[in-house]
Amino acid sequence: AEVLRITKKTLLLMDDMMRIMKRANGVGLAAPQIGVLQRVIVIAPLDYKPMALLNPVIVKSEGDQIGQEGCLSIPGLYGDVKRAAYVEVDCVDRKGREITLELEGMPARIVQHEIDHLDGKLFIDTVDMATLHWAHPGEAAEAE
């Protein structure tokens, strides 16, 4: 469900999601992953300040990139996924401001992965099956 207004409960959800993501050494988390059916994601790409995005929608995408992904929902499973190299995302920040993010490379991959969760998709739905493998989560270079 879309977040129609930011309440104390919404702010607590975002804070909880940040804590859960960090504790799991992740770089992204979507509310449905913790049983909350709201369009809320948190992302923490390297060299970016961690941020919560409400009602994120990809409004533009360009190029292709293939890279290894993992998921906190399936710890230890990794594989290559083709994603857009660049995305523009319209969303609402934790202060209720409508913003547009322009992301490329790994940050673009992370936000696409998390928005997929909001739409009921996991990375295994689009992974190159030939690259799917199990590894200790600490060994994967780019795990969600």
Active site residues: 114
Q: Which residues, including other chains, have CB under 8 Å from residue 91's CB and lie 6 or more apart?
A: 53, 54, 55, 56, 57, 98, 99, 100, 101
Quick one: which of 102, 100, 135, 120 has its CA closest to 33? 120
| Structure-token match 């523009």, residue found | 88
Region class of 130: left (phi > 0), else alpha (psi between -120 and 50), else beta: alpha
- Alpha-carbon 46 to chain mean position: 13
